[in-house]
Amino acid sequence: MIDKPIPAKIQLTLADNKSTSEEFIGLSGSLYRQNLIFCEPRELRRSKNTLELIVVFRDNNSFKTWNKNVEIKKYWLEKFDKTLANKPKTIREKNVIVEVDNVINCSCENSDFYLLQGRSLQFVDELTCNKCLGQVPYSKVPLEIALEDWQTKHERTYLNWLESGLFEKEAYKELTNYKNGKLNLVGEKIRQQLSDHFKIPVYISYFTKEPDENNSCPVCGQKGFDSGLIRPNRICKTCNTIFGYDGK
């Protein structure tokens, strides 16, 4: 079965319908910090004594086991037991179209390497398996590896360049400063941490203004080795980069 993000609602039935329900405001933040949901809950509804938190879980495992997460149990189990009339219900949303629905997560048992790329669009996790080209869910990445934070900053910088506004030149300089730019230095650090964690090589694909012309390593200029992919088709093991978009 293909693992993919799941739109759902978490239903909380309050034991006291006069409760303000303020104690549950931080639940979505806890879910996000544990890499269980995408960054922005879609909606929080209340009807009489029932709360419904509309979220997008990152994968099937997150959808099924979020309430068994150690940190969630630590901070929320007592509130669930004392304030709710019954246990939270997690209901999959049907006929809901969300942007992440087209994302396919990697379910390979073994991968040769992962591709890391700075995020350019919201709700896209740019850590990809070389075999299935599916995305590696952030729920599999330890919290101490600040991948989501880096991706968010990369997206902001990319959008500043894309919008061709006041910060276009500064954003372009930051995106293409491969050796010394703060954004790319953090990306390289995260690439190394991911490689150490997953015990396989992780190659980073740097931003280039004209991808079709990116046929040599952007860091050292070498031609590299065959990646085994159609695009990107080259790997520089010296700089741990992946590139080559000429389609050959």
Give residue-wise pLDDT tens across range 192-225.
999 999 999 999 999 987 766 668 899 999 999 9
d(CA 183, CA 153): 8
Asked if residues 241 and 235 have their Cβ atoms less than 8 Å apart, the reply is yes
| Among 42, 29, 27, 7, residue whose Cα is nearest residue 88 | 27
Q: What is the model's pLDDT at position 99?
A: 46
Percent of the chain at pLDDT > 90 equals: 44
- Domain residue ranges in the chain: 6-101, 106-243
Q: What is the model's pLDDT at position 100?
A: 45
Q: Residue 20 above 70 pLDDT?
A: yes
| Among 138, 112, 113, residue whose Cα is nearest residue 125 | 138
Question: Which fold does the domain 6-101 belong to in CATH?
Answer: Alpha-Beta Plaits (3.30.70)
Q: What is the model's pLDDT at position 227?
A: 93
Who contacts 160 (Cβ-Cβ below 8 Å, separation ≥6)?
Answer: 167, 168, 170, 171
Query: Mean pLDDT over residues 81-96, rounded?
Result: 86
Give pLDDT tens digits for 97-116.
444 445 577 888 899 999 99
Pick 165 or 144 by higher pLDDT.
144
Looking at mean pLDDT, say which of 28-32, 64-68, 138-142 comes out highest.
Answer: 64-68
Tally of CA atoms within 13 A in the half-sphere of 173 that contains its CB: 4
Query: Mean pLDDT over residues 130-142, rounded?
Result: 85
What is the rounded (10 degree) CA torsion for 210, 212, 213, 218? 80
Give CA angle at 74 (137, 58), nearest 5°: 15
Q: What is the model's pLDDT at position 75?
A: 87
| Among 39, 57, 36, residue whose Cα is nearest residue 156 | 39
Residue 115 pairs with which residues in a beta bridge?
Answer: 128, 203
Q: What is the model's pLDDT at position 188?
A: 97
| Among 247, 210, 216, residue whose Cα is nearest residue 234 | 216
